[in-house]
Chains A and B, each alone.
Chain A
Amino acid sequence: MHEVSFERLDVDGAIAESAERAGVISRGAFLAGALGGSVAVLGLAGERAVAQGPGPNDVAILNYALILEYLQAAFYTEAQRMKALRGRAADAANVVGAVERAHVAAFRDLLGSKAISRPSFDFQGTTEDQNAFLKTAVAFEDLAVAAYKGQATRIKASSALAAALAIHSVEARHAAWMRYLFGVEPASHAFDQPRSKQQITRVVNSTNFITSSPSTEGSRTPRYTG
């Protein structure tokens, strides 16, 4: 019932890792071109759009980031629509939701036809209650920070790395903000830890937030009253 979009990414990652070892992919591979139109969205200066896209290793990593951004964007968007939040939590959902949506747009723009498509989500009530929302938001944002951090040293192209770092610190701001609203210390340690894609995937899958699309179309002969 619950499809695991991450598994497709793992396959790409394995392929890319072997290509990397073979020395096929280098930093130059998509330098200057990679960010393309997303430069404006990402606010990074000095890069120009070029026809070629990111190499396979970076495509896998960017799609992994895109899934996390889809997840966060959908979560905040639904929370805004449910209107179950009040005061500063409602403001935070509005601001952070807009930023996560911008991240989605930037990654989709960057990946072009290689962008993974938006999954279906079921947030199981966590967008419909302020306390559940804040807990989930804190957990998500801390997770996003750890996820980006876990990939930083694996990204090949400088421009993709710069983009990832520029987003990684914003996710950390979100994490601190949500923690503050929830009532826990925004920065509990001097050093934040990375998490591998396997670790992040396991946690995300355990939530069952990502679901398969409803199957509402069939091809049996109708038996309506006619």
Chain B
Amino acid sequence: MSESAPRLAGLAASPDSALEVPGPVRLAREPHLSMWSVVERPATARSSPGGGRRIARLRTRTPEGTDNIVLVRRRARDASGGVWVEAVLPVLPNGTTGWIPRDALGGYRRVRTHLIVNLRLLTATLERGGRRVFRAPVGVGMQQWPTPRGRFYIRSKLVRYRSTFYGPLAFGTSARSAVLTDWPDGGFVGVHGTGRPDLIPGRISHGCIRMRNTDIVRLGRLMPVGTPVTIL
């Protein structure tokens, strides 16, 4: 229906067409913007909007006991007009995306931050609006337990627990170890502090990204949950 067509007296407004099914549309349309949503209802992610094969079952809570969230990329309709959202999924193989019914998700939340972990340079950099606001040296996975490369997101934040090993604060990401598949709670890669700052930078972990405690505390003030993470 053309909004700019002149309206004729005596005719009701034409109903808009549900017949055309346009292609997927990106959700985050501004530079440096990412969006995420809470998984409000258990849902099955599929390979295409409204169909295709089943990829994963999503729960509403994470193993850490927080709300499960997904990074959302695009929106599309199925043939009957239902809305589906393409999301980055916290499943193996790493980098998996799938389509979830819109009504399984909550409201859209926006972030303009981006964490970039460079496995060669052993650095973690946080950008906000494309500008660097944080950088720190990191410890990453040893050769036999590599930190996976790819595009992920921060899924949760843990604070006020007691652990020398993990330091004062830990972020959970959507990335999973491809090797430690039997690890408790699914083998998720975290970004956290450490009791061994002397080992940083280095290839020292089972996949997690470790940083010195002062750095992780600083990152904790700058990086909201939902931030996309690029590991390269």
Contacts and interface: CB of A to CB of B under 8 A. Distances in A.
B65 to A, nearest CB: 5
Given A215-B66, A223-B63, A224-B190, A183 B107 contact: no
B67 A215 contact: yes
A222 B192 contact: yes
A86 B156 CA distance: 37
Interface in A203-226: 211, 214-226
Given A123-B107, A218-B65, A218-B66, A224 B189 contact: yes
Interface in A63-91: 78, 81-84, 86-90
B185 A223 contact: yes
Interface residues of B, number: 58
Residue of A121, A181, A220 contacting most chain B CB atoms (<10 Å): A220
B158 A124 contact: no
20 contacts: A86-B3, A88-B3, A122-B40, A124-B103, A125-B83, A182-B13, A211-B106, A214-B69, A216-B155, A217-B158, A218-B156, A222-B161, A224-B166, A224-B172, A224-B188, A224-B190, A224-B208, A225-B189, A226-B205, A226-B207
Given A88-B3, A218-B64, A220-B158, A82 B27 contact: yes
Interface in A154-201: 181-183
B109 A217 contact: no
A84 B22 CA distance: 11
B162 A221 contact: yes
Give the top 4 A-B pairs by smallest Cβ distance, nearest first: A87-B3, A183-B13, A224-B190, A122-B107
Interface string B14-41: 0110000000010101100000001010
Interface stretch (A13-21, A24-32, A94-102, A128-136): A128-136
Interface of A: 1, 78, 81-84, 86-90, 120-125, 128-131, 181-183, 211, 214-226
A82 B72 CA distance: 13
Interface string B103-121: 1001111000000000000
Contact of B103 (A81, A120, A125, A223): A125
A83 B207 contact: no
Interface string B36-53: 001010000000000000
Label chain A's interface by main secondary structure.
Answer: loop
A138 B160 CA distance: 47
B163 interface: yes
Interface of B: 2-4, 12-13, 15-16, 25, 27, 29-30, 38, 40, 63-67, 69, 75, 83, 102-103, 106-109, 141, 145, 155-163, 165-166, 170, 172, 177, 180, 183-185, 187-190, 192, 205-208, 225-226
B2 A217 contact: no
B63 A87 contact: no
A85 to B, nearest CB: 9
Given A216-B225, A217-B158, A217-B225, A225 B64 contact: no
Residue of B64, B145, B161, B188 contacting most chain A CB atoms (<10 Å): B64
B141 to A, nearest CB: 8
A89 B2 CA distance: 11
A219 B170 CA distance: 10
A225 B185 CA distance: 9
Contacts of A181: 3
Contacts of A86: 3
A84 B102 CA distance: 15
Contacts of A130: 16
Nearest to A181: B3
Contact of A222 (B15, B187, B190, B205): B190
Contact of A226 (B16, B40, B155, B165): B165
A220 B64 contact: yes
Contacts of B108: 78
A225 B102 contact: no
Given A225-B208, A226-B205, A214 B190 contact: no
Given A88-B3, A217-B158, A224 B192 contact: yes
Given A225-B188, A225-B189, A121 B107 contact: yes
